[in-house]
């Protein structure tokens, strides 16, 4: 039987913890609301005769800016996240969830935020991607937002945005992993890409899963035939994407809550 003194002690501890939780949740709701209110629906891109000005505020501002430029100009830009650590994340738990579950599980998102860049334009080639994309990446790397990146160009005219570091230091990009992969056109493109993700998971030690868009009929009908031996996962993936559509791009996004990468189809 619990003594009256022990009962009072336990009650005091519970009330203290409960009060502390409510206070913490209140601070979180304020921060969450202010942060979400500052986000932009899409990047603001303004072009004058001499300057290109870009402003964005989102969890992944670099990816969002490059996605907007790719859509606007038909550029083929592939994007890959680093493996973000705790220092790169922010508590993104919805206040409505906390209200119902004050001591429930929290979820986290990339701690991106405001990002802007102003780029001088060449009068002869005002929207040359080799003037615009490197300037955007360099500006991002100096912005203080999570992750560091480099631009890699290919002879096929693709631009790969590749991670070089996160908050906990330098990293090797997962798509630099050397691997072998074979698939035939007896499987659908999603089946082949799922097998690719499984093999990359096995080879790299990092979980990778395929994430298809809602309207994926074209991908479902496509077939891929691939034979790669001791190649980087990036080059194998590039050849596979080309067989589905010449303008298709990928996004490889890391989710800290599930500790896995999601391979996205983008066009």
160-171 per-position pLDDT tens digit:
999 999 999 999
Task: Identify whether 263 is part of a domain.
Answer: yes
pLDDT in tens, 230-265: 999 999 999 999 999 878 899 999 999 999 999 998
Tokens of 177: 């992993």
Tell whether 49 and 163 lie within a shared domain: yes
Task: Identify whether 11 is part of a domain.
Answer: no
Query: How far from the centroid of its chain's Cα atoms is residue 225's Cα?
Result: 28
Tell whether 181 and 93 lie within a shared domain: no
Tell whether 195 and 256 lie within a shared domain: yes
Q: Which residues of the chain have pLDDT under 50?
A: 1, 6-20
- Which domain, by its residues, includes 176? 172-267
Tell whether 53 and 74 lie within a shared domain: yes
Which of 155, 171, 187 is at the close of a domain? 171
Please give the Cα distance from 255 to 203 (Å, whole number): 19
Task: Identify whether 22 is part of a domain.
Answer: no
Is the overall model pTM greater than 0.75, yes or no? yes
User: Residue 239 contacts by C-beta under 8 Å, 6 or more apart in sequence?
Assistant: 226, 228
């Amino acid at each position: 039987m619990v003594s009256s003194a022990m009962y009072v002690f336990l009650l005091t501890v519970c009330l203290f913890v409960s009060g502390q939780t409510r206070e913490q949740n209140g601070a979180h709701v304020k921060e969450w609301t202010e942060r979400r209110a500052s986000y932009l629906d899409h990047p603001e891109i303004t072009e004058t005769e001499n300057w290109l000005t870009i402003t964005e505020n989102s969890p992944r501002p670099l990816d969002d800016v490059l996605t907007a430029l790719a859509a606007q100009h038909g550029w083929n830009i592939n994007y890959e996240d680093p493996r973000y650590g705790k220092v790169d994340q922010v508590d993104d738990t919805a206040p409505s969830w906390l209200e119902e579950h004050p001591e429930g599980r929290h979820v986290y998102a990339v701690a991106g935020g405001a990002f802007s860049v102003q780029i001088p334009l060449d009068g002869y080639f005002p929207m040359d991607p080799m003037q615009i994309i490197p300037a955007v990446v360099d500006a991002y790397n100096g912005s203080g937002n999570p992750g560091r990146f480099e631009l890699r160009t290919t002879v096929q005219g693709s631009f790969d945005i590749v991670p070089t570091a996160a908050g906990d230091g330098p990293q090797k990009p997962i798509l630099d992993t050397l691997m072998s992969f074979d698939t035939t056109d007896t499987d659908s493109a999603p089946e082949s890409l799922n097998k690719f993700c499984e093999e990359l998971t096995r080879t790299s030690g990092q979980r990778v899963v395929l994430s298809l868009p809602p309207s994926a009929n074209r991908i479902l009908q496509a077939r891929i035939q691939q034979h790669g031996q001791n190649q980087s996962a990036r080059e194998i993936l590039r050849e596979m994407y080309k067989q589905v559509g010449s303008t298709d791009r990928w996004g490889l996004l890391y989710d800290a809550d599930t500790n896995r990468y999601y391979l996205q189809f983008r066009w």
